[in-house]
Copies of this chain bind each other. A is one copy, B any other.
Amino acid sequence: MELSVAEENYIKAIYSLSQSGKVSTNDLAQAMQTKASSATDMLKRLGEKALVNYVKYQGVSLSDAGNRVALKTIRKHRLWEVFLVNKLQFGWDEVHEIAEELEHVRSAKLTEKLAEFLGDPRFDPHGDPIPNSAGELPKHSVKTLGECKTGEQLILQRVNDGNPEFLQYLERIALHLGEKLKIKSQYTFDNSVEIERQDGSVLMLSETVTNNLYVIEQ
Contacts and interface: CB of A to CB of B under 8 A. Distances in A.
Contacts of A110: 84, 88, 98
B101 A89 contact: no
A169 interface: no
Interface in A100-155: 101-102, 105-107, 109-110, 113-114, 117
- Count copies of this chain in the complex: 2
A105 B98 contact: yes
A94 interface: yes
A123 to B, nearest CB: 21
Nearest to A114: B88
A172 interface: no
Main secondary structure of the interface of A (DSSP, over half): helix
Of residues A89, A94, A110, which shows the largest number of chain B Cβ atoms within 10 Å of its Cβ?
A110
Contacts of A117: 87-88
A82 to B, nearest CB: 14
A117 to B, nearest CB: 6
A88 B110 CA distance: 8
A101 B94 contact: no
A109 B101 CA distance: 14
B89 A113 contact: yes
Contacts of A113: 84, 88-90
A109 B94 contact: yes
B102 A105 contact: yes
Interface in A65-93: 84, 87-90
13 contacts: A84-B110, A88-B110, A88-B113, A88-B117, A89-B113, A90-B113, A97-B107, A98-B105, A98-B107, A98-B110, A101-B106, A101-B107, A102-B105
4 closest A-B pairs by beta carbon, nearest first, are A88-B113, A101-B105, A98-B107, A88-B117
